[in-house]
A and B are shown apart, each in its own frame.
Chain A
């Protein structure tokens, strides 16, 4: 632990650091429960309607999903390296890694948008008033779940990219000084890694049901 700037009501750096980490872990616990409900629906759909759920999953573009997983994992690498640079007081290096993560995050969102477009053109989106290739009520349910889960994840990604942009600006303008306030990078990094961990489950559950 190298961050040293202590502010009220804390009296020592360790206490301040632990409070920030605990607050973020508990916040992310709320997010676990939010996404957990969707995973519960996915699990039950898979158990009760196995054949239809597998057929619906096979219609998805697992190659695009896999590529996006690799992109997201690489963005997490960039964030982890940015945090480490911040802890060591290497401001410019931290900015470079953060920009790398932003580019990868935007790449993920662009590819996701392209995938949605492809699925819309193939009639897989569960919208009314358009030509549809959805054959069964279970496939409709599955695509509802897919759209809600991946859409909610994409919303978290957009927020994450915004937070990373804030860090880049803050470090560039020196509102955020490192290593004294490296905790700011660490906490935003926790959020980004969590969004990555959610996708790590979404990918096999939605795209690779066989």
Chain B
């Protein structure tokens, strides 16, 4: 598959995922709905990063640079969620 075809295919996948996000919000609610919508969002962002932002073409060091902030952010969010779920314990 040529590069331009791949770019168009990724765009179509992103539009399908957008439709899935909206449809999912009509079906799922609460924490399940949040997980579904964020799961689709991460998939979309992964497509954008990997293909459109050229992460897939880069050597390992540059991939680490591209995803490092996401790793730090996930630590922040993990502590936030742990704080929420452990309040009231003990």
In the complex, how many residue pairs between chain A and chain B have their CB atoms under 8 Å apart? Answer: 127
For B68, list chain A residues within 8 Å (CB).
26, 29
| CB-contact partner of B48 in A21, A66, A200, under 8 A | A200
Given A62-B22, A80-B7, A210-B28, verify A22-B38 contact (CB < 8 Å).
Answer: no
For A205, list chain B residues within 8 Å (CB).
37-38, 41
* Bound form: Cα–Cα A66–B66 in Å: 27
Main secondary structure of the interface of B (DSSP, over half): helix
Total interface residues in chain A, CB < 8 Å:
47
Task: Give the segment of A32-40, A121-129, A149-157 that binds chain B.
Answer: A32-40
Given A204-B25, A204-B38, verify A69-B3 contact (CB < 8 Å).
Answer: no
**B22-A50 in contact (CB<8A):** no
Nearest-neighbour CB distance to chain B for A168, whole angstroms, equals 19
Name B49's closest neighbour in chain A (CB-CB): A197
* Bound form: Cα–Cα A186–B81 in Å: 36
For A203, list chain B residues within 8 Å (CB).
21, 41
User: A120 within 8 Å of B by Cβ?
Assistant: no
For B40, list chain A residues within 8 Å (CB).
204
Task: Give the segment of A70-78, A137-145, A170-178 that binds chain B.
Answer: A70-78
Q: 19 A–B contact pairs at CB < 8 A?
A: A25-B66, A46-B34, A54-B29, A62-B25, A70-B18, A73-B15, A73-B18, A76-B11, A77-B8, A80-B52, A81-B7, A189-B53, A196-B48, A197-B45, A197-B49, A200-B41, A203-B21, A203-B41, A209-B34
User: B89 within 8 Å of A by Cβ?
Assistant: no
Nearest-neighbour CB distance to chain A for B60, whole angstroms, equals 11
User: B80 within 8 Å of A by Cβ?
Assistant: yes
| CB-contact partner of B65 in A26, A33, A44, A70, under 8 A | A26
**B53-A73 in contact (CB<8A):** no
**B70-A32 in contact (CB<8A):** yes
